[in-house]
Amino acid sequence: MNKFCSLCAILGLSMAMLTGCDKKNDAIETPPEAPTRFVGADLSQWLVYNENHAIYTDNGSPIENVPQYFAQKGFNIARIRLFVAPDMQSEACQDINYVIRTARACIDAGMLICLDFHYSDTWADPGKQYTPKEWESLSVAEMAQQVYNYTRESLSRLKEEGITPAQIQIGNEITGGMLWESGRISVWDEAANTPTQWENFLSYLRNASKACREVCPDAQIIIHIDRGGDSETAIRYYQKVANIDYDIIGLSYYPFWHGSFSQLETTLQSLQNKFPQKEIMIVETAYPHQKSDYGESGNAACDYPFTPEGQASYLSDLVRLLKRYDNVTGVYYWYPEETYVEPFYGRIDLHRGMFDEYTGEVLPAINQLKDFLQ
């Protein structure tokens, strides 16, 4: 049982004992434990879509409360990204106030929260880990301290608002490190695979983890890379971060970028064998329900048609695969809230959401991930 579940069980028993002490003839009831498996929806774009009159329907009827609808479909945790000082008139518009508003709606809907620190003013992924503008002049030691301060301040602010994340990502797809150039690393490239570069990066991770443990001691900490289909890189990477205090190996797996199911299976089995004490989660996955301009079509690993039925089949088969691994405890869909909305600064057109982009009608894929909880 993880620490989060243990705390919930202890708190539940304590409350039951307190409320039952004046009812000698009543049985003591404890609330159910927190989930041991997670089905997540990254709903980071939902709020700005909602404010720009996006359409969401089920069998033609409007969906009034989108987070609640996802909860009813079996999603028990919402992932929300956080940027340091984003341009609020861009697609990357999730500052701390935005996160608070989104998290409240998701908590009210019955979901837990996974906070995804990007440590950047804009998108952070394997190809870009831009240092926030206000941090650019900091030395390595100052940057490490700033990571600690910023992480602690952000989490404290959330807790002041009654929001305590159940899971926290300290970086987003940080396969190549974060806070470039000082925090750029690689397990292959000689220029970035040096003791100095790794120590810089690890100092940032240590300070991020330290702040999480101090403010949210029962939250699970995730270290997230993108190599769901690359077992050798994943093993080398998590060996390098073995001394960081964290709980979950987080992977992105998009078959059009990261390879076939057999490659994913090799990665999962290798990680489970090498790090048996760690949980493993697919913290990002998605599949197109129609062709797009993002290069998915040329990848031989995409064995499913780019149709609503193909999208649903992909997720159904993915769930069956993941359930074969005891250490795999979560699967998250990235950007499921994509739907019909008039063009505006926050619209992202990828054709991978769980709603039809021309009508707003829900697609069959939304019903597939809940089977992971069974």
Active site (catalytic) residues: 173, 284
Region of residue 176 (phi > 0: left; psi between -120 and 50: alpha; otherwise: beta): alpha
Continuous H helices in 111-194: 140-160
Are the C-beta atoms of residues 132 and 146 closer than 8 Å to each other?
Answer: no
Q: Which of 75, 131, 16, 149 is nearest to 337 (CA)?
A: 75
Q: Cα 223 to the chain's mean position, in Å?
A: 10
Phi-psi region of 50 (alpha: psi -120 to 50; beta: other; left: phi over 0): alpha
Number of helices followed by number of strands (H, E) in the chain: 10, 10
Between CA 34 and CA 32, with CA 246 as vertex, the angle to 5 degrees is: 5
CA distance 173 to 103: 22
Give the span between the Cα atoms of 280 and 331, in whole angstroms: 9
Contact criterion met (CB below 8 Å) for 362 and 354:
yes
Alpha-carbon 191 to chain mean position: 30
Three-state SS string over 233-246 comes to HHHHHHHHCCCCCC
